[in-house]
Structure 1
Amino acid sequence: MKNTFIYLDSCNTCQRIKGELELPDSFDLQNTKESPVTEEQLTFLKDQAGSYEALFNRRAQLYRGRNLHEKDLKEEDYKELLLDHYTFIKRPILVHNNVAYIGNSKKVVAAAKEALT
């Protein structure tokens, strides 16, 4: 997968991390609201994360809005939800040299910064 930064433009955390990373111009910026993650990208990310569930953002408002917290979701459900709506994917995601750094934890952001140096 190409070097890409997947984020949500309206997310302050994504904007902050994008600034911290000081991404080279060679990176593609992908705003998930305008350019949702493709099935091919999702497959790559699942392979990196270990499961679709690991890519799933339980903090998304739609998670409770659709009463998903009350359901026993399976891997295929997570995949469908991730492809269905952009807010369900954990963000931001930095893909650099075919390694994905997923989420906004300090540990992940530090690893992403280290990879870019």
Structure 2
Amino acid sequence: MKNPRLKVYYLSSCDTCARIMKEVDVAAYPFELQDIKSEKITAAQLDEMARLAALQNPKIPPYESLFSKIAMKYRSMGLNKMTLSESDYRNYILEEYTFLKRPVFIIDDTLYIGNAAKTTAAVAAALQNRK
């Protein structure tokens, strides 16, 4: 384990984030919590998430994998009708916190993105392995 750490990027007003964080028992671990609405994601943080995403799945563009296409602004801004580049995805996430697919967990050097059941199960399993 090169980089022991526990961090979660979440939105405090998001019921899904709250449910997942409770389900995996975030409170039982020394997680660094970052509410992305009150503490904006920095470019360095986003770039680190993208680096980890690229290492885990080199076939999927990393910034796109972090981008939420279900965010209300995705349609209202007409982004769903555009072809976006990795640079576009990065810039939109930095400009608008709701574009980050959430929650994002970093457990050691592994990134877990989003709220899919299999992602939540993987987070729970990774945390169990730390006990």
Q: TM-score, normalised by structure 1?
A: 0.94
Percent identity of equivalent pairs: 38
Inter-partner Cα distance in structure 2 for 1:88 and 1:109: 20
Matches within 5 A, 1:57-96: 57-96=68-107
- CA offsets 1:84-113 (integer angstroms, 9 cap, x no match): 010000000111112111111111110000
- Structure 1 residues without counterparts, runs of 5 or longer: none
Matches within 5 A, 1:35-50: 35-50=39-54
Aligned residue pairs: how many?
A: 117
Give the letter for the 1:47 counterpart. Answer: R
Q: Give the Å deviation of 1:25.
A: 4.5
Q: Quick check: 2:24–2:123 contact (8 Å CA) kept in 1?
A: yes
Aligned-residue RMSD, C-alpha: 1.2
What is residue 3 of structure 1 aligned with on the other side? 6
Inter-CA distance 115–25: structure 2 relative to 1 (3 Å threshold): closer
Give the letter for the 2:93 counterpart. Answer: L
Q: Quick check: 2:104–2:114 contact (8 Å CA) kept in 1?
A: yes
Q: Give the Å deviation of 1:49.
A: 2.1
- Structure 2 residues without counterparts, runs of 5 or longer: 55-61
Inter-partner Cα distance in structure 2 for 1:62 and 1:47: 25
Inter-partner Cα distance in structure 1 for 2:121 and 2:52: 17
- CA offsets 1:13-60 (integer angstroms, 9 cap, x no match): 000001011123511111110112111111111122231011100010
Runs (4+) of structure 1 exceeding 2 A deviation are: none
Q: Quick check: 2:52–2:109 contact (8 Å CA) kept in 1?
A: no
User: Greater CA deviation, 11-20 or 21-30?
Assistant: 21-30
Inter-partner Cα distance in structure 2 for 1:55 and 1:13: 17
What is residue 22 of structure 1 aligned with on the other side? 25
